[in-house]
Chain A
Amino acid sequence: MENIWAFLLQTLTASVAAAVLLLAKRLFLDKLSPRWQYGVWAILAVRLLLPAGLWGQTPLPGLSVAVEAVKTGAESHLSSALSSPYAITEVLSPIPLVRLIRPGSVTDLLFYLYAAGVVLSLLWFFLSYLALRRRVACGRTPSPAALEQVKAVAARYRLARPRRVVVLPGVESAFVCGPLAWVLVLPEREVDDKVLLHELLHLEYGDLWAGVALCALRCLHWCNPVLWFCWDRAQNDCEALCDQRVLERLEGEERRAYGVILLSMADGRYARAPGTTSMANGGKNIKARISSIARFKRYPRGMGFGSGCVAAVLAIACLAGTSGAVDIPDFDQRGPLALARAQVNRPTTVAGALDTYAKALLCDSPLYYAMVAPEASRQAAVEAASAPYREAELEDYLYSAPFHDLGFRWHRPAWQAEWSVMNLLPDGAGGYTGVLLFTPMRGDEAQGLAWQPVAVRPLGEFWTVEPTGELTAQLREDWWLCPSTSTPYATYTAEREGLYLEVDFQCRLWVDNTVQTGSSDFFSSFSTSGYLDPKPRPHASFTQLQTGVGARLVSTGTGEAISLPITVAPMEPGDDPVRALAESHYTFTLSPGSLDEDPVQSSSGVTGGENLTLTEMPAALAVSIRDGADTYTWTATLERGGQS
């Protein structure tokens, strides 16, 4: 937790888990034993130790949206040093990670206050424990009879004995303290064997350590009353479980006598110190334990595996949660919640980023643009998305958009166009450059297409898109789609054995976005028409690939073109080209003709499906040239300057 918003997300997520567990415990109160009732608190403890939103999973997806909405609203007016209004809130660690820098806002101060609270509450618990140990150190040695009684109880029930037994004046009931150096503290009056058994069982099952862990978790979320309530319940469940263990070791009348002892403590006050356990834990709690004892032996039998399965489902609900698919807002939705929904749906794939950007253009939606905007322009994008939606602005856009000039079909809320990206070239910094193309939907008439050069860059776990040029309208007669020399291509070259080879490579990728709508009635034949799905798909993968390859082979001596069979396959630089040609999913065998000019050999094709592996321009090409009985295998590398 690096800022107050991360803490808020973490503590709210834990509160949701706590609410689920409290509800489940209420449902199974009279059906599952104290072992289960106490054991399920481990789920909450683990929840607090796991960062909220780990692996994109959350118990309640709406929670992160609410936190994002409040954060963006609050932080956009502040100059916080610890948090940014536009970055997604992430919980990197379950404990506060304090950077000692000058606070820039009230939210920074709140985070420092929270972190100080953690330290102070830990200190307070520790000092309370030290004070108790000091009191216990002053305790006097019990009578030989009392020591003998403790020894006898431990021997009878085969339990470990405490290292030290003391009598402390003023103590209401026996208790044990100190997870490392166990001390059994007795009151001045005589203590029943069953009370001693209860305390020795706490030692046997390591309940003191559980108490220390609960104490630490209380400190970590010291300002969350829901969690404090839960830990109080957990400690009472621990006592109830210990009662159950005692009853399992007692017979007949002794069980009733144990209940009477508990009843006699029902008026006592709750004054337990950290690092201790005591049978007397407050009147209200004891009443709940007596109800639990009344149910002893009435819990259904043979439910061990079943109760484990129920606990496992609760663990899945509270720890793993759901992938948290928050609905992407509609293009015209505005306000903090819509913006937060857009923010938590930022693209996680290159195809998803391009799809989101394309739909931001086609719907003229600042909200969608905010999802994909790079860091530098995010503030402007968020401000534009926060402004109220006005229909008049959309109408202005409709008449000014290049899609209007080209005669694309408008079907609210988007221009009906298919987007694709040409030649995604790695930019050497983890991102890509390419040309975004907008073509009419299949069956639509339009006068041309629109294009825009873009850069796709990673930003943390997300991807952003930045236009690197204007959105331009191009008439159809001037531009033929891949494979053609009218569209961008990259050239790979190789020179060996008196031959010079140039390979022009094109790669067009897109996501199938068409939604088929069908209509049929009794009197007309069935007809279908395609529409663009206007909602961004921020986690999409490329589903369609169109390639175009053209090669020229010339003699370096004479400059004369040579026609020999050529096969090409994508490869990584440094790979073995022979292996690449043998193993690649994409091998292109070139045949003479096409690609406009010169003696060119070419190949083209369209590949579809979810499992495309060629999703960017290859760094190099493996080339095989057959000359009679001889086969030459070369590596063609990308020409400096990239695409033409």
Chain B
Amino acid sequence: MNQEQIYRGLSKVAWGYVFLTFNLNLGTLNVLPNWAGYLFFLAAIGLLGEELRDLPLLKPFCILLAAVDVVDWLAILVTGESLVGRFFLVYLLVVCVSIYFQFQLITDLSLLAEAYGLPSGVLRGCRNVDAAISVLILLPLPWADNELLTVLSVLLLLTGIIVRLILVWQLFTLRKSFRPEAPEA
């Protein structure tokens, strides 16, 4: 598979994570919507699918997550409130799909890195911590009522943000390793 295609695929994954990690709200309008991130991922799956055997399995999940996020994004834009969040079980099923999607995506990218002799430990570590935090914050604990739990929740959120930032940085670093040689003049 040509290196340029991998480079382009990794660029899309990295930018997809930028959209997933950062939110910029102008009133109720999120100008960095998650669905845009999923569209980047969809494009990346097309580019990297040949190299990574398992990656095309994520395509239906990517479309599903993008569709759900479009609906939620519109709901927040119009009403100011999330629609999916109102349906507990639907919300948790979407969380399941999201955890799986991101976990497998990063796993596949780690395998890609390993296949080319590049380090993948940090990527895998970030993947595990990110998934664990996604589960921990869903635990039905009195987060707001207990001082210790409140501190813990803040720590978890801070850790989550830091891990996401490291992940984005790692993805751009990985991308750099596949930069195509500049054509000689």
Contacts and interface: CB of A to CB of B under 8 A. Distances in A.
Contact of A309 (B88, B135, B140): B135
Given A316-B139, A317-B88, A305 B103 contact: yes
Interface in B52-105: 54, 57, 61, 88-89, 92-93, 95-97, 99-100, 103-104
A317 B128 contact: no
A106 interface: no
Residue with the greatest number of chain A CB neighbours at <10 A, chosen from B54, B96, B97, B127: B96
B21 interface: no
Contact of A314 (B57, B92, B103, B139): B92
A309 B92 contact: no
B140 A303 contact: no
A59 B92 CA distance: 10
B103 A306 contact: yes
Interface in A285-341: 300-303, 305-307, 309-310, 312-314, 316-317, 320-323
A312 B135 contact: yes
Nearest to B92: A317
A314 B107 contact: no
Nearest to B87: A60
Interface in B93-144: 93, 95-97, 99-100, 103-104, 107-108, 110-111, 127-128, 131-132, 134-135, 138-140
A591 interface: no
Interface residues of A, number: 31
Given A27-B93, A314-B92, A316-B92, A306 B131 contact: yes
A36 to B, nearest CB: 10
A23 B97 CA distance: 11
A27 B90 CA distance: 13
B23 to A, nearest CB: 22
B135 A300 contact: no
B88 A321 contact: yes
Nearest to B64: A27
Interface in A171-191: none
A567 to B, nearest CB: 30
A20 B93 CA distance: 8
Nearest to B142: A323
A27 to B, nearest CB: 6
Contact of A27 (B54, B97, B135): B97
A303 B103 contact: yes
A323 B88 CA distance: 10
B54 A301 contact: yes
A301 B57 contact: no
A130 B134 CA distance: 49
Nearest to B124: A302
B114 to A, nearest CB: 10
A120 to B, nearest CB: 34
Contact of B134 (A20, A57, A309): A309
Interface of B: 54, 57, 61, 88-89, 92-93, 95-97, 99-100, 103-104, 107-108, 110-111, 127-128, 131-132, 134-135, 138-140
9 contacts: A59-B88, A300-B108, A306-B107, A307-B100, A313-B92, A316-B92, A316-B140, A317-B93, A323-B140
Interface of A: 16, 20, 23-24, 27-28, 30-32, 57, 59-61, 300-303, 305-307, 309-310, 312-314, 316-317, 320-323
